[in-house]
Amino acid sequence: MYDVIVLGGGPGGYLAAERAGQAGLATLLIEKNKLGGVCLNEGCIPSKTLLNSAKIYDHARNGAKYGVTAENARIDQTAVVARKNKVVKTLVSGVGAAMKAAKVEVKTGLGEIVGRDAEGVVRVKVGDETFEGRRLIVATGSEAVVPPIPGVKEGMAKGTVLTNREILDLPTIPKTLVVVGGGVIGLEMAGYFQTCGSQVTVIEMLDHIAGAADREMAALLQKAFEKQGVKFHLNAKVTSVGDGFVEFEEGGATKRADAERVLMSVGRRPVTKGFGLENLGVLVERGRIVTDAQGRTNVPGVFAIGDANGVWMLAHAAYREAEVAVNTILGKRDAMRYQAMPSVIYTNPEMGFVGETEETCKEKGVAYRKVTLPMSYSGRYLAENEGGEGRIKLLIDPARNRLLGCHLLGSYASEIILSAGVMIESEMRIDDIKEIVFPHPTVGEIIREAVFHA
């Protein structure tokens, strides 16, 4: 009998298990594949390893404008993938060590929910073994959406059509790559392969890239990508995938793009089927498990965190949801707040954003005023970016004089955006932010500059 059974060993699952174990709860973590889940093995970490290699390569090729010349710079895709695998292996081992330190029992295999008895005890089967727990945390993650486009299934069988999983292990750089979907994963991989020598074409059904990002900032990112050579087709629909090409409709015309490889990156969906969730009567709507602010489902003692609940499909959201769920199990008051959840697109340049966008403000009827500045207002940004066209945008509540949203395009955006998130989370007034001392010279000072311009 366990106090907590956690189903899924991704970011939310393994952290929930660790926190529960550290609190003295008898905890079982069940993972069907590898600890770390998609994020660690097939997403966040491996993609950033590749992107860092591309950044170094880009610096080597274009160092002359900084007074540094490197001859015959090249990228070795085999070596890049090998280093990626080494990094992933190290981190997966670290997760395993953390589970051992927290006295969490780990079981490898597909966990299948058998049911729940009258006393609320949940039974989960792994192979021939059955385990019982007083609480169940569902952290089954998400999977790539593969639309039923003619030719896609055949291309996947041949290895010419890829998802985020396969493209991270691609042994060679294709001459041409078509990315279907201009969201986070699609843009990051488009940036990597364009830098490494592919001719990349991005086909997106919407009239903008970067999903929920501020439209004005997304347009600036697209412009930066186009300067690097990436081709974009917006308001376009892929109709078929053939041998070496992709056909799509744009503006009422049928067009074709060369494609030695195709990346299907049209989104992800929560994994809610295939492990017996229906045996508990858990409410699922639009493919996601419905939860409250504590991660509780409609079934007492059953929680859902991370991508499985579909609220905010980001690893750092899953981390916090894991802590809230475990705190609730321990009887501590806690709740999820999503109004200051930061997001990052790790392209070159990086994009980071938190809080409201102009679009969400208009949808909600929220009054706002904005200020935008070139990132060159930061001395360090100017020193490190020859010809950089980064930008900051702040959205401010004119009545309460508080920060509503912050949007950054430029170097270190992924690190700086946390500062703005803290300001929004704590509801700091603009006058309070003016009193914060930023270290100089840093790119992060751009927030101070923008606040004083506001």
359 and 365 Cβ atoms separated by less than 8 Å: no
Q: How far apart are CA 20 and CA 387, in angstroms?
A: 50
Q: What span, in angstroms and rounded, lies between the C-alpha atoms of 144 and 393? A: 32
Which residues, including other chains, have CB under 8 Å from residue 340's CB and lie 6 or more apart? 354, 355, 421, 422, 424, 425
Backbone angles phi, psi at 267, to 5 degrees: 130, 175
Question: Residue 6 pairs with which residues in a beta bridge?
Answer: 29, 137
The DSSP H or E segment spanning 185 is: helix 184-195
Instruction: State how far the Cα of 164 lies from the Cα of 42, in Å rounded to an integer.
Output: 7
- Spatial contact of 399 and 367, defined as CB atoms under 8 Å apart: yes
Judge whether 18 and 102 are in contact, CB under 8 Å: yes
Residues noted as catalytic: 440
Q: How many residues does the chain have?
A: 454
Q: Where are the alpha helices (DSSP H) in 207-285?
A: 215-228
Could you give the dihedral angle defined by the CA atoms of residues 405, 380, 54 and 266, in that order, rounded to the nearest 10 degrees? 10
